[in-house]
Amino acid sequence: MGHARTYICFDYLKKIMREYFGYNVILQMNITDIDDKIIKRANESNQKFEEFSRKNENSFWKDMNELNVEYPEILTRVSEFVPEIIEFIEKLIENGFAYESNGSVYFDVPKF
């Protein structure tokens, strides 16, 4: 239930703003459907990361439905923006705000 708290709170806030105050609220949610842990777990279960992620996402939405949390108006997934993410990280490195070490890229907080 700990992770669900975030989604429940945003859902309540959206409903209060929409139904009580009359605002037109558009909620966007991001799904992290690809990262090192997801790829590792997908490989361990002999699945493509897309299949593995979608199965978990569907389970998530089933839980949200049980909690009466509305589906967001806009849903994005990390896998849909990989080229943009790579470009952004390259610019961070180019501008000296990130650095590569042992195959990973780290944000350089003091330089920021």
Q: Does this model's pTM top 0.85?
A: no
Domain ranges of the chain: 4-80
At 3, the pLDDT band (50, 70, 90 cuts) reads confident
Classify residue 20 as exposed, middle or buried by CB count within 10 Å of its CB (0-12, 13-18, 19+): exposed
Lookup result for tokens 């780290």: 106
Tens of pLDDT along 36-77?
999 999 999 999 999 999 999 999 999 999 999 999 999 999
Tens of pLDDT along 83-98?
999 999 999 999 999 9
Distance CA 27, CA 9 (A): 12
